[in-house]
A and B are shown apart, each in its own frame.
Chain A
Amino acid sequence: MTKELYEGNQAMAEAAVRAGLEAYFGYPITPQTEILEHLSKRMPELGRTFVQAESEVAAINMVYGAACTGARVMSTSSSPGVSLMMEGISYIAGTELPVVLVNVMRGGPGLGNIAPSQADYNQAVHGGGHGDYYPIVLAPASVQEAIDLMVLSFDLAEKYRSICMLIADGSIGQMMEPVEMPEMRPVVRKDWDWAVSGAIGRERRVLSSIYINPPDEEIANLRMFKRWQEIQKNEVRYKEYYLDDADFVIIGFGTAGRVALSAVRAARQLGIKVGLLRPITVSPFPSRVIDQLASRVSAFLVVEMNTGQMLNDVQLAVKGRVPVEFYGRLGGVVPFPNEIFDEIKRIAASKLSLAVDPRAAWYERMTAEK
């Protein structure tokens, strides 16, 4: 198939349309507004539902209502807007609805800025909304991967009656790359045995996140947790580069992982045996493969566009067996390949200690007088 030039946001929007998106509700915010803009044109011309809500709070609750009817439904936003959605996201989790969300992340906290960031990792992966639930979270590193994961998101969300959130660094949303779009799939309203559509010729159904009797809530929590265990077993995805003979391994997701790959290739040309693991599902996290790597490599370097949020998950998997170093850029700053290349050379040349706090050591290096 011919490749077309697509901007990341428009590509995710078009991919969602082709995945059979039936209804979209959203509110503009940079750097994701082109998703909304693209869908404002495409959805009506295909006879599908598009609503620009009065706020992100309204948008996520419209998503909640539409998801209750069994429609393929999505909302998208960027960091501050996603924070506004968190109440609704928790209700969606508690009602066990399949919903797809995109967070095109920008620098924060607060209003921050509109530059690419990975600072919402913890919010996406480790909760955000209240209550005991685990969302599926996918992190693309290119426009093509964002398209592929967008399509996958709907299937995963429906398979597990789960939230599936795509976290794309602002750069993924804003850059243009040549891509292949998937075939157009028709809108199919599946005959779910839980969806509300009017109680014609059947028992009425009630969709709710309320369980006034605590033991009933516990049963619901156990049901959700069982689904999460299935997700952990079946849906871990990652990419590995040069791992076969690697002495030490970089771990980075999204843009940070992609930039790290350039540095790894440069290091390989110097004969430095460094590999790269790029998690695609940051939730469920590829802990098992990191656990296995930890028994045969000498160190890890975690690279992120935050102060080391995924670092914690890597450390849990490594269990203190080998040093885990850290390099981060913050607040909307994207690392250059040569910065990570310098880190690779530093690690290759030094004797690392398990006793060092990687975050503290990174901070010292970041703020040292040059």
Chain B
Amino acid sequence: MANLAKPENLVYQRPEAFTDVSTHYCPGCTHGVAHRLIAEVLDEMGLAEKTIGVAPVGCSVFAYSYFDTDFVEAAHGRAPAS
């Protein structure tokens, strides 16, 4: 079992575009999955340093804590405009 941790066997790890913070989302919530997909894309495309995130209001209001990028906190429902 021990050799599963070899880099060539690793299929799942924390994206670099994430900060080293545990999210506050409830067990089973898909916010974390959505964040992860975005972070993976940022890593794949090498965009994290050029990214300015816009966090909404609601449970993902603290998204700015989880992405290792510049971030702006928008008003309720106004993230697309911001």
A interface residues, Cβ below 8 angstroms from B: 53, 57-59, 61-62, 64-65, 68-69, 87-88, 91, 95, 196-200, 204-210
Which residues of A are found within 8 Å of B50, using beta-carbon distances? 198, 200
Q: Is B52 an interface residue (CB 8 A)?
A: yes
A197 near B75 with CB under 8 A, answer no
A to B contact number (C-beta, < 8 Å): 75
B70 near A204 with CB under 8 A, answer yes
6 A-B pairs with least C-beta separation: A208-B73, A61-B81, A65-B82, A196-B70, A61-B78, A58-B81
Kindly provide the distance from the CB of A41 to the nearest chain B CB, expressed in whole angstroms. Answer: 23
B73 near A210 with CB under 8 A, answer yes
Kindly provide the distance from the CB of A253 to the nearest chain B CB, expressed in whole angstroms. Answer: 31
A69 near B52 with CB under 8 A, answer yes
Q: Is B72 an interface residue (CB 8 A)?
A: yes
Complex Cα gap A59–B78 (Å): 10
B interface residues, Cβ below 8 angstroms from A: 48-52, 54-55, 61, 64, 68-75, 78, 81-82
Please name the residue on chain A nearest to B54 by beta carbon.
A65
Complex Cα gap A69–B73 (Å): 13
Kindly provide the distance from the CB of B31 to the nearest chain A CB, expressed in whole angstroms. Answer: 17
B82 near A198 with CB under 8 A, answer no
Interface contacts beyond A198-B49, A198-B51: sample of 4 additional A-B pairs, CB < 8 Å, sorted by A: A61-B82, A91-B74, A196-B70, A196-B71
Which residues of A are found within 8 Å of B70, using beta-carbon distances? 196-199, 204-206
Which residues of B are found within 8 Å of A61, using beta-carbon distances? 74-75, 78, 81-82
B75 near A207 with CB under 8 A, answer no
Complex Cα gap A198–B54 (Å): 12
Which one of A53, A59, A69, A196 has the highest number of Cβ atoms from chain B below 10 Å of its Cβ? A196
Residue from the list B49, B61, B64 in contact with A199, Cβ < 8 A: B49
Which residues of B are found within 8 Å of A57, using beta-carbon distances? 78, 81
Please name the residue on chain B nearest to A97 by beta carbon.
B72
Please name the residue on chain B nearest to A91 by beta carbon.
B75
9 interchain pairs, CB-CB under 8 A: A65-B81, A68-B52, A91-B74, A196-B52, A200-B50, A204-B70, A206-B72, A206-B73, A208-B64
